[in-house]
Amino acid sequence: MGILESSVIKGFVRLCDDGWQQGWHERNGGNLTYRMKKEEVEECKPYFNYDKPWVNMGVKAENLAGEFFMATGTGKYFRNMILDPEANICIVEINEAGDSYRIVWGLKNGGGPTSEFPSHFLNHSVKVKETDGAARVIYHAHPTNIIALTFVLPLTDSAFSKVLWQSMTECPVVFPKGVGVVEWMIPGGAEIALKTSELMKKYDIVVWAHHGLFVMGNDFDSAFGLMHTVEKSAEIYVRMLSTGLPMLQTIPEDKLASVAEAYGGKLAENLL
Ligand code: 13P
Ligand code: ZN
């Protein structure tokens, strides 16, 4: 069996293609990383080579030393992932200091992991700690409606959390902790990575103003599902606004916590 037959690569590619089909990945927009399980690393190891140099990331996380990540390549199109995974994704190994990576598989025509790898990496670091190792996926996309809202809503955690919770009844259940918001910043470096990972200590979802969304998941389904739910709620709100009609009613604010509670969640009521 070749490495491309492994279920972990199939799952990774499926998420990329699902995101493309949703229209969240124009050109090379968006990126995905996955922290591999020990048994997945063992399964893929026969295909690794260790010739590539270590590359310093400009950020450091000691709790990710020695981990292996699958990552989309920088400049690569989600549209193409399904056609040729080995040209568009890579597996990287993290060094013992937790500050550098080296490519051990993939990107057969050259290139490196996503330019947002520092953000993904620090988010993984925060989430591994918070979930005792359960969290594995960080997903960044450019969904239209959530981006549109960053032009018309105040760029605060509470404004976004409240609108998204109130636009679709499932939302307080799916993300009771709410949503963090990063003001517009230059993407692709350590500064935005630090800012995002600070918010990831409180949230599983972070909006990047005028840019997109970061979510975390324990597996591909939960990460994709979270992205999908947030964007769907944003779409409902945008469509409601675009009717130009006055809003006559919405989900009562004082009932949001009870919705979360009905499914065993605890709403971050400080955001209301
Ligand atoms: P990459 O092609 O480097 O992954 O960048 C795409 C992107 O969405 C930047 O935020
Ligand atoms: Zn982006």
pLDDT (average), residues 66-86 = 98
**Could you tell me which of 122, 220, 233 has the C-alpha nearest to residue 174?**
233
Phi, psi of 72 (to 5 degrees): -70, 150
Alpha-carbon distance 119 to 195, whole Å? Answer: 9
Question: Comparing C-alpha atoms, which of 87, 135, 90, 131 is closest to residue 108?
Answer: 87
Predicted pLDDT at 194: 96
CB of 115 shorter than 6 A to ligand 1: yes
Helices (H), 72-218: 78-81, 85-88, 117-131, 144-149, 157-167, 171-174, 190-200
Instruction: For residues 179 and 200, give the distance between their C-alpha atoms in angstroms, rounded to a whole number.
Output: 9
Q: Write the pLDDT tens digit of every residue in 229-242.
A: 999 999 999 999 99
- Please indicate whether residue 144, judged by its CB atom, sits closer than 6 Å to ligand 1: no
Q: Is the CB of 187 under 6 A from ligand 1?
A: yes
Ligand 1 atom nearest the C-alpha of 211 is: 10
Catalytic residue of the set 43, 67, 93, 116: 116
Total count of residues recorded for the chain: 272
Q: Which two tokens stand for residue 59?
A: 């950020």
Given ligand 1 and candidates 28, 119, 121, which is best to mutate, with the most ligand atoms within 8 Å of its CB?
28
How close is the Cα of 190 to the center of ligand 2, in Å?
14
Mean pLDDT of 38-44: 97
List % helix, strand, coil for the chain (3-state, nearest 5): 45, 15, 40
Q: What is the mean pLDDT of residues 4-23?
A: 98
Decide: 216 and 204 in contact? Cβ < 8 Å.
Answer: yes
pTM for the full predicted model: 0.98
What ligand has the least distance to the C-alpha of 189?
1
Residue 179 confidence class, pLDDT cut points 50, 70, 90: very high
116 is catalytic: yes
243-267 pLDDT, tens per residue? 999 999 999 999 999 999 999 999 9
Residue of 115, 138, 146, 208 best suited for mutating to test ligand 1, as the one with most atoms within 8 Å of CB: 115
* Packed helices 7-22 and 220-242: angle between N→C axes, nearest 10 degrees: 10
Instruction: Judge whether residue 185 has pLDDT over 90.
Output: yes
Ligand 1 nearest-atom number relative to CA 28:
2
The sheet that has 31-35: what strands, in order across it? Answer: 55-56, 100-106, 89-94, 68-72, 31-35, 137-141, 212-217, 205-208, 180-182
Whether 75 is in the pocket of ligand 1, judged by its Cβ within 6 Å, is yes
What's the CA gap between 87 and 98, in Å, rounded?
A: 26
The sign of the dihedral angle between the CA atoms of 123, 129, 130, 132 is: positive
Instruction: Give the span between the Cα atoms of 69 and 114, in whole angstroms.
Output: 12
